Structure 1
């Protein structure tokens, strides 16, 4: 599955919806998408990981960096409905307890916020 990262606002949250493989080949795109879509004001951020099909250490690094960034701005940060590949890497790395993990998010009141520009190099 091709990597994608989009954003929407939902109930006072910025939801980053991530899909596909997050590995060495796309971690730069993932980081760039987060940088581009990151809120300018104080708002809690949720990364919907339900459609992530693969996560390696570089993808995990991007998630940890985003969590630290949110904490530095006094914002909440959570992973929503992480897929089994995401949970496996969090467990193997021993960092699952660092992340707030929540269930699936409703999308009925969602308003599209933005979409990261596709990377022409890939």
Structure 2
């Protein structure tokens, strides 16, 4: 049985899988949710060499505030020599990631398992 992590906010749960910290986003990620998530995301991405998976598998809505969270997390992790991967299958969010070019910098994977298989390559400056 898989242990469900306690939510940090109603929009974010954090768990460990292998050596990675998985940040699970939930529900509608808008400006209010981003304000709740940001301090927790900053704490998790502040470690040198952090290994992070951003999991958008449980989102229902994702706006530009969510994009800013992804960009911020990516930059913080890479600045500290870490690795970061993205999980996303939500069609509208994938479209936004492609249109904005973020999908090239942070290529989305369909599952956390698939993201963890990419551990040999960090999502770099592109």
The alignment's TM-score, normalised by the length of structure 1, stands at 0.75
SS at match of 2:108: strand
The alignment's C-alpha RMSD in Å is 2.0
Corresponding residue number in structure 2 for 1:71: 78
Aligned residues: 105
Measured against aligned partners, the alpha-carbon deviations of 1:29-64 in whole angstroms (never above 9, x if no partner) come to: 121221244463523100111111111111101110
Written as runs of structure 1 = structure 2, the 5 A alignment for 1:1-122 is 3-38=10-45, 40-106=47-113
5+ residue gaps, structure 1, are: 107-122
SS at match of 1:71: helix
Cα distance change on mapping 1:71 and 1:82 into 2, 3 Å: farther
The alignment's TM-score, normalised by the length of structure 2, stands at 0.73
Q: Relative contact order (alpha carbons < 8 A, sep ≥ 6): 1 or 2 greater?
A: 1
Cα distance change on mapping 1:82 and 1:31 into 2, 3 Å: farther
Cα distance change on mapping 1:48 and 1:38 into 2, 3 Å: same
Structure with a larger share of its residues in helix: 2
5+ residue gaps, structure 2, are: 1-8, 114-126
8 Å contact from structure 2 (residues 88, 94) kept in 1: no
